[in-house]
Amino acid sequence: MNPDRQRRFLEWETTHARLDDSWVQMYCAGARFPTGKTIVPGRPSAEALSTLDGGKAVTTIFAPHSRAHDPVHVATCIRAELPDSRIIMLRNGSHHTVR
């Protein structure tokens, strides 16, 4: 990755929302350092989810304008697997604009 690519990604993800300049500079500067492969965990199995007692102690918070995933779809899946979980959909924002 390079800083320009990171900046373009942020512009895409946030649909050109106004972001704090210092934060954007810091975020993009991180692209200059080598990193290992990003590891994204898989979806928990039904067995693993069953240990959460219906989700009574689970809270998920979604930004409605995220482009990384479909927040409504993910919330629907969570509700199906963890019917007692608490799901909060913010009024606005994306993954990178939540404050």
Q: What is the pLDDT of residues 54-74, one digit of tens each?
A: 888 999 999 998 888 899 999
Which residue type, as a one-letter code, is found at position 2?
N
What is the reported pTM? 0.71
Quote the tokens at residue 94.
């994306």
Asked if 6 and 28 touch (Cβ cutoff 8 Å), the reply is: yes
* CA dist., res. 52 & res. 84, Å (int): 10
Lowest mean pLDDT among 3-7, 49-53, 84-88, 93-97: 93-97
Q: Which of 36, 40, 47, 44 has the alpha carbon at shortest distance from 60?
A: 44
CB atoms within 10 A of CB 23: 11
